[in-house]
């Protein structure tokens, strides 16, 4: 028989994002030219202002307070007060944690009882489903509109006596879209008649390409938890540093959980965050990403049968390949094998007939890779 794993592992799959990435890396190691557009992270290295600041802190080796170094909580609260135009945000509303993932996990652990339902607008980032299931919650998918906006009407129809929370992610992974103010206002009206918790995953809110973005605090959701971090805005994915913003009751609960699971976020990463905030958490790679997006917006419309909704944030384009096939896994495998281009199949995000392209590579790789996709589609047309 051997080791018996717990039942909670039954529904957890290895991320499809990682599976294709692993295959692409193996092909590259075997000497093949690979255009890898699967990455969920900027390709740039850590900004110098962070490296230099943290280099002065290498003797800081002790545990920190569970919710984060006091000075950092204050710096995050001050920053967020401005970014969210929200006067209520003070240090007691902040918990520093090891990236977006633990922030989301602790939020769910603190609010979801086994059997509670969590509304998940789809397409959705791959980990939400598993995080919800890990805490015993039930995922209730609610499709976004055809142009990837929230659909308050669909969501309203999915509410039940068991609904405890909803996850909102704007700018969105995998679609890159920013939800409209109309749909968020409408949703707030619906949800504020209930006690449903709104977990806003704000991981990409610093990566915005045009005017008109409004922070989630503008819509008056009553039970709001915000999860954010520095992974994407500062190319700090490996440093594991993020934070939660919420009412003091939730922050106390999450801190209690974090005290036993994580203890504290890496001390040096917390100093890295301070340096990022000294720079107003301004993403150093935003201009390059914008240029990449312009390039992609010029090339993709020349690919037959492939459509896309231009993203307004994050660094993903969700290619609509439904006119070619619904079997995105098969299509992505074939694209990788035949042209060396790696994308993430839509199945990973509960969206058949789509493939996610991350435009964080250098410009030449992006241009060549997009042209390879075009050749592949034309050859199989
Ligand atoms: N939320 C979204 C929407 C993401 O795409 C990611 C990373 O891919 C995360 C959260 C996790 O961020 P972190 O690496 O800080 O845990």
Output the pLDDT for position 360.
97
**Which residues sit with their C-beta closer than 6 Å to ligand 1?**
40, 99-101, 125, 169, 173, 201, 203, 229, 231, 237, 242
| 349 CB-near residues (< 8 Å, 6+ apart) | 122, 123, 124, 125, 126, 174, 318, 356
Measured in Å, residue 39 CA sits from the centre of ligand 1 at 11
Output the pLDDT for position 258.
98
- Per-residue pLDDT tens over the stretch 276-309: 999 999 999 999 999 999 999 999 999 999 999 9
CB 228 within 8 A of CB 97: no
Output the pLDDT for position 16.
61
Q: Which atom of ligand 1 is nearest to the CA of 104?
A: 10
Measured in Å, residue 31 CA sits from the centre of ligand 1 at 30
The alpha carbon of residue 269 and the mean position of all alpha carbons in its chain are separated, in whole angstroms, by 19
Output the pLDDT for position 15.
64
Q: Which atom of ligand 1 is nearest to the CA of 229?
A: 15
Measured in Å, residue 128 CA sits from the centre of ligand 1 at 10
Nearest CA to ligand 1 atom 8: 40
Nearest CA to ligand 1 atom 5: 173
How many CB atoms sit inside 10 A of residue 144's CB? 21
Nearest CA to ligand 1 atom 3: 173
Tell which residue, 8, 33, 47, has the closest CA to residue 277.
Answer: 47
Output the pLDDT for position 32.
94
Output the pLDDT for position 22.
84
Output the pLDDT for position 381.
77
Output the pLDDT for position 10.
85
> Cα separation of 59 and 61, whole Å?
6
Output the pLDDT for position 145.
98
Measured in Å, residue 65 CA sits from the centre of ligand 1 at 24
> pTM of this prediction?
0.96
Angle at the Cα of 201 from the Cα atoms of 309 and 143, rounded to 5 degrees? 50
- Per-residue pLDDT tens over the stretch 109-139: 999 999 999 999 999 999 999 999 999 999 9
- Catalogue all structural domains in the chain, each as residue range(s) with its CATH number: 7-45+284-379 (3.90.1150.10), 49-278 (3.40.640.10)
Farthest-apart Cα atoms in the chain, separation: 61
Output the pLDDT for position 1.
74
pLDDT by residue for the chain (381 residues), tens digit each? 799 999 988 888 776 666 777 888 899 999 999 999 998 898 999 999 999 999 999 999 999 999 999 999 999 999 999 999 999 999 999 999 999 999 999 999 999 999 999 999 999 999 999 999 999 999 999 999 999 999 999 999 999 999 999 999 999 999 999 999 999 999 999 999 999 999 999 999 999 999 889 999 999 999 999 999 999 999 999 999 999 999 999 999 999 999 999 999 999 999 999 999 999 999 999 999 999 999 999 999 999 999 999 999 999 999 999 999 999 999 999 999 999 999 999 999 999 999 999 999 999 999 999 999 999 999 987
Q: Which atom of ligand 1 is nearest to the CA of 172?
A: 3
What is the distance between the terminal CA atoms of the chain, rounded to a whole angstrom?
Answer: 50
Q: Is beta strand 163-168 parallel, antiparallel or unpaired with respect to 138-143?
A: unpaired
Q: Which atom of ligand 1 is nearest to the CA of 314?
A: 5
Output the pLDDT for position 166.
98
């Amino acid at each position: 028989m051997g080791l018996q794993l717990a039942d909670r592992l039954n529904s957890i799959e290895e991320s499809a994002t990682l599976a294709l990435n692993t295959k692409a890396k193996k092909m590259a190691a075997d000497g093949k030219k690979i255009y890898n557009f699967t990455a969920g992270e900027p390709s740039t290295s850590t900004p110098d202002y962070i490296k230099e600041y943290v280099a002065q802190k290498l003797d800081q080796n002790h545990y920190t307070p569970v919710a984060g170094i006091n000075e950092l909580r204050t710096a995050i609260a001050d920053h967020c007060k401005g970014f969210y135009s929200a006067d209520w945000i003070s240090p007691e509303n902040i918990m520093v944690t090891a990236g977006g993932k633990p922030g989301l996990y602790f939020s769910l652990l603190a609010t979801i009882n086994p059997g509670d339902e969590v509304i998940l607008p789809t397409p959705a980032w791959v980990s939400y489903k598993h995080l919800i299931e890990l805490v015993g919650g039930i995922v209730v998918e609610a499709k976004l509109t055809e142009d990837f906006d929230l659909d308050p009407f669909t969501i309203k129809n999915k509410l039940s006596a068991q609904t405890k929370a909803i996850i909102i992610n704007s700018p969105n992974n995998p679609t890159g879209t920013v939800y409209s103010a109309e749909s968020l206002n409408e949703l707030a009206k619906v949800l504020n008649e209930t006690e449903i918790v709104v977990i806003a995953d704000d991981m990409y809110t610093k990566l915005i390409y045009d005017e008109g973005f409004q922070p989630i605090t503008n819509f008056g959701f009553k039970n709001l938890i915000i999860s954010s971090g520095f992974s994407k805005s500062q190319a700090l994915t490996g440093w594991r540093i993020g934070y939660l913003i919420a009412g003091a009751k939730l922050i106390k609960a999450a801190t209690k959980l974090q005290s036993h699971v994580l203890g504290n976020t890496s001390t040096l990463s917390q100093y890295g965050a301070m340096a990022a905030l000294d720079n107003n958490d301004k993403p150093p790679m935003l201009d390059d990403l914008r240029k990449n997006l312009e390039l992609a917006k010029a090339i993709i419309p020349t690919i037959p049968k492939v459509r896309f909704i231009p993203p307004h944030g994050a660094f993903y384009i969700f290619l609509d390949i439904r006119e070619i096939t619904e079997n995105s896994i098969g299509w992505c495998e074939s694209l990788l094998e035949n042209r060396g281009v790696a994308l993430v199949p839509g199945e990973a995000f509960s969206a058949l007939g789509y493939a996610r392209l991350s435009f964080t590579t250098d410009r030449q790789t992006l241009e060549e890779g997009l042209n390879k996709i075009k050749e592949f589609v034309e050859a199989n047309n």
